[in-house]
Amino acid sequence: MSISLEIEKLTKTFGEEVAIQDLDFSIEPGELFALLGPSGAGKSTTLSCIAGIETPSSGDVRVDGESVLPVKPQFRDFSMVFESYALYPHFTVAENIGFPLQAPIRSGELTEEEKRERIQKVAQMLEIPELLDRYPKELSGGQKQRVGLGRALIRRPRLYLMDEPIAHLDAKLRHHMRGELKKLIKELGVTALLATPDYNEVVAMADRALILNQGNPEQIGTPIELYNQPKNVVVANAIGDPPINLLDCDIQKEGGGLFLKGEGFSVKCNAALKSVVHKHNLAEGLIFGVRPKDITIEKDAARGLIRGEVYVFEPLGGEAVATVRVNKKLVKIVCPWEDKLSTGEKVGLSFSLSNVYIFDRKSGTALLA
Ligand code: ADP
Ligand code: MG
């Protein structure tokens, strides 16, 4: 049976420094939940408080409704995957991976044969079966990380706590491990909490995520909800690569129409935008956001809603990212490889106004998403 995890008003301070503040979230049994935030956001602190490595300053951590704060870390039965691993230098890879199975509190759970089988299976998943007899000093950084990951995955704990588990792998292997890790966790049905600064990992792996910003919780949702309905600029910026384009603008009346007017552009509001403008009584101090995938490049600049000049064009294989300078601001667009734009070329940018986001510049709050 999988467990549920409830985090209530979790706060941790180090002296003056507030690492996390009033975190509230619940993870359903068997759910893969992610904490997404840049370095310093408080991800590791949150995981450490749940694991019992750190004592929270206030708040609670409950498993199936019962607080685990009085329970010593080794009896919580959580398995923590760290970003960097301290492997035992005098143990082989197989011994390192199998180490958690030797713990006295787990003696007699598995036969020696079953332990060997499980080590073999984990090594295969991590694509390191040929390394089982090597010692850590004979491994590359990426191989060490996989051994560390293996040591966490060898157990069947009540909860996996994964702190940037695949950060140090090269791109291809990271992609592979992302899928394997998700598959394994889902097959085992173990409740899991993943901390990562990489939105791609969240979108690919997580059922739901919490966006963390300097220790503060911004929004909880499925990856699609966070992408489509960000509550504010921070969340809009956190999900998407290249990130959403954000341009300062104000509302201006001209003739009978309303316009989003910024430096170097003026976009006529449609009915939906107009109703938002009236509803919130908007005038100035706004940010208008549009995602790189929602913009189309017009080679005939006059056809765009916004005009600019190509700054750089980067083919990525299959698609490309064009950076276009609009006045002083750089706007990113995902476009076909075949567009082959040259630096300095004048282009137009068109997009559907139904894909536009509007935020309040001061508070960052989304007014339309
Ligand atoms: P993340 O894992 O998201 O990069 P951390 O949880 O490691 O973030 O850190 C959050 C904040 O708490 C940072 O500002 C960091 O400097 C601070 N912090 C973390 N651990 C300690 C500690 N042991 N002592 C003092 N400050 C700490
Ligand atoms: Mg960290």
Q: What is the pLDDT of residue 339?
A: 87
Alpha carbons 363 and 366: distance in angstroms, whole number: 9
Q: Is the model's pLDDT at 107 over the cut of 80?
A: no
pLDDT tens for each residue of 264-275: 889 999 888 888
Q: What is the pLDDT of residue 276?
A: 82
Question: Residues near ligand 1 with C-beta < 6 Å?
Answer: 14, 17, 19, 37, 39-45
Q: What is the pLDDT of residue 330?
A: 96
pLDDT tens for each residue of 131-156: 999 999 999 888 888 898 899 889 88
Q: What is the pLDDT of residue 369?
A: 53
How confident is the prediction for the chain on average, in pLDDT?
A: 92
pLDDT tens for each residue of 12-64: 999 999 999 999 999 999 999 999 999 999 999 999 999 999 999 999 999 99
Distance from Cα 19 to the centre of ligand 1, integer Å: 6
Q: What is the pLDDT of residue 42?
A: 98
From the CA of 35, the nearest ligand is 1
Distance from Cα 47 to the centre of ligand 2, integer Å: 9
Q: Is the model's pLDDT at 283 over the cut of 90?
A: no
pLDDT-based confidence at 200, cuts 50/70/90?
Answer: very high
Mean pLDDT computed over 62-72: 97
Mean pLDDT computed over 285-310: 94
Which of 14, 196, 214 has most ligand 1 atoms within 8 Å of its beta carbon, as the pocket-test mutant? 14
Q: What is the pLDDT of residue 32?
A: 98
Nearest CA to ligand 1 atom 24: 14
Which atom of ligand 1 lies at the shortest distance from residue 39's CA?
A: 4
Q: Which CATH code, of 3.60.130.10, 3.40.640.10, 2.40.50.100, 2.40.50.140, is assigned to 245-368?
A: 2.40.50.140
Which atom of ligand 1 lies at the shortest distance from residue 212's CA?
A: 3
Q: What is the pLDDT of residue 251?
A: 92
Higher per-residue confidence, 276 vs 28: 28
Distance from Cα 174 to the centre of ligand 2, integer Å: 18
Q: Where in the chain is CATH 2.40.50.140? A: 245-368
Nearest CA to ligand 1 atom 14: 40
Concatenating the DSSP letter of every residue in 261-303 gives: EETTEEEE--HHHHHHHHHTT--SSEEEEE-GGGEEEESSGGG
Which of 45, 83, 194, 218 has most ligand 1 atoms within 8 Å of its beta carbon, as the pocket-test mutant? 45
Which of 10, 11, 13, 17 has most ligand 1 atoms within 8 Å of its beta carbon, as the pocket-test mutant? 17
The 10 Å Cβ neighbour count of residue 197 is 18
Nearest CA to ligand 1 atom 10: 42
The tokens describing 196, both together, are 């990562």
Q: What is the pLDDT of residue 168?
A: 80
Q: Which CATH class is domain 5-230?
A: alpha beta
Cα separations in angstroms, 38 against 87, 203, 222, 258, 285? 26, 16, 19, 37, 27
